[in-house]
Amino acid sequence: MKRVVLFGYRGTGKTAIGTVLARRLGVPFIDTDALIEQKAGRTIPAIFRDDGEERFRALERDAIAGLPASDVVIGTGGGVVMDPANMEQLRAHSSCVLLTADPATIGHRLAQAPRPALTGLPPKKEIAEMLERRRPAYAAAADFCVNTSRTTNEAAAARILGLLEHGTIPAPAREAAFRWFAATPLLAPERERLGELLTGPGHDPQTRFLGVAGWPCGHSRSPLLFNRLFLEYQLNCHYTRFEAPAVGPIMETARLIDAKGLSVTIPFKQDVMACLDEIDDAAREIGAVNTVVFACGTAYGWNTDWLGIKKPLAGHAGSRAVLLGAGGVAAAAAYALTDLGMEVTILNRTPEKARALAERSGCRWGAWDDFDRMNPDLIVNATPIGMQPDTHSPLRDDQLKKEMTVFDLVYTPPVTPLIAAARKAGCTTITGTEVFIHQAREQFRLFFGIDVPDTVIREILA
């Protein structure tokens, strides 16, 4: 059988429930904290006291790297989710279950079996602080969730066994979801593969679903990238396209099949925010979400676009920049450019939209024609102009000067009309593929807690 890995904060019952679960499955149970103590010949509190947390984390990584690959139940330490190297090891060919409990229950359990403090805070504040700090990592670790606040160890183990056998998607929901997908523009091979995974004979109830949400999104390279990454990291997941003219039905279908996550693209990055339970501070300030993570009944919204834009511009801090566009992608770009300390002017064909974004972002603004009076160091195109099948450039060839850097956030095609014209003019160019690579890397970490090297993504996209 695939190994079962239990994640969760201290006091959620990983050891007690894991022991019962392993007995019922007829396989060994391994507690990684106990394994570390056995190998080190010291207790974890002693390791922390004598050598510090960094040494403990190194021992933890070594112990996890040597765990059996199958036929075992594993209970992990509460902070294991914070290390991408651990998540890469633990998620491979595993069923991952997040155990949760309310803070009051955790506090009561920890009081019965005191453990070393993780911070200098009082116990209640420490629990709240650590749960908040680790929340994204716990969401990334969860294929299935079990709340242990009001249950016995036996009942929790039985619940996990049921999830492993039946998953979380009832048969009627699978059939309804496939009917919805079949009515969308999915290409026949993608539709057939999705049908096999959702409703086909012998389908695996543990398979998790993700996808790109947009209208249109047939051009997206995300399905290619993520499905290849699932093979690379041995994840039982499938990535498809949620392509519809409104975001509401997309979110309803995603919840129907208990989706693990969504990559959100045009035109839903702002609309999707109304469908979410919690939104990251950066995404809220930007006013756009491009990444949705579903975990334990909660939909979390993030924005990784701004990180994908910032990374390729690391050497351009302080530049004078013109940002073309005022939509959701432009908002992420404005956030990234101002974070780099640039002087930013936003131009849009509808000046009122440029003004609204500029006032929100602390930038200057103007009408599209104002570009001719400017001499920026950097031009960032955050409009969809040039995206296939469009063959236009947002700027005239004579507006491009060789001393400029031109960054086109459109990535299909890889060389857009703007990039082609900029290269002809002798400009330094950055293609939208760079944004795609870096924002997808951040998305994968939010989805699964794994940090994928840039080189792996580049090889897949080559």
List the domain boundaries for the chain.
Answer: 3-166, 171-303, 311-436
Q: How many CB atoms lie within 10 A of CB 336?
A: 26
Catalytic residue among 260, 269, 401, 424: 269
* Between 272 and 412, the higher pLDDT residue: 272
Query: Which of helix, strand or coil describes residue 116?
Result: coil
Query: What span, in angstroms and rounded, lies between the C-alpha atoms of 177 and 253?
Result: 6
pLDDT at 315: 85
- In percent, how much of the chain has pLDDT > 90? 91
pLDDT at 316: 86
Residue with tokens 């990592």: 137
- Is the model's pLDDT at 285 over the cut of 80? yes
CATH number for 311-436 (one of 3.40.50.720, 3.30.420.130, 3.40.190.10, 3.40.50.2300): it is 3.40.50.720
Model confidence at 112, in pLDDT bands (50, 70, 90)?
Answer: confident
Q: Is 269 one of the annotated active-site residues of the chain?
A: yes
Which region among 6-15, 107-116, 283-292, 353-362 has the lowest average model confidence (pLDDT)? 107-116
- Range 21-50 average pLDDT: 94
Full-prediction pTM beyond 0.85?
yes
pLDDT at 119: 84
- Write the DSSP string, 224-292: HHHHHHHHHTT--EEEEEEE-S-HHHHHHHHHHTT-SEEEE-TT-TTGGGGG-SEE-HHHHHHT---EE
Instruction: Evaluate whether 13 touches 149 at the Cβ level (below 8 Å).
Output: no
pLDDT at 391: 85
pLDDT at 90: 98
pLDDT at 219: 87
- Range 115-122 average pLDDT: 81
Rounded to the nearest integer, the mean pLDDT of the chain is 96
* CATH of the domain spanning 171-303: 3.40.50.10860
pLDDT at 388: 83
CA torsion through residues 83, 85, 90, 96, sign: positive
Instruction: Evaluate whether 440 touches 416 at the Cβ level (below 8 Å).
Output: no
Model confidence at 114, in pLDDT bands (50, 70, 90)?
Answer: low
- Range 376-390 average pLDDT: 93
Model confidence at 274, in pLDDT bands (50, 70, 90)?
Answer: very high
Query: What span, in angstroms and rounded, lies between the C-alpha atoms of 306 and 426?
Result: 27
Same fold, 3-166 and 311-436: yes
Residue 381: closest CA among 439, 327, 303, 311: 327
pLDDT at 38: 95
Which region among 47-56, 196-205, 282-291, 349-358 has the lowest average model confidence (pLDDT)? 47-56
- Is the model's pLDDT at 115 over the cut of 80? no
Which region among 105-119, 171-185, 269-283, 415-429 has the lowest average model confidence (pLDDT)? 105-119
pLDDT at 252: 98
Query: What span, in angstroms and rounded, lies between the C-alpha atoms of 128 and 240?
Result: 36
- Range 249-270 average pLDDT: 96
The CATH class of the 3-166 domain is alpha beta
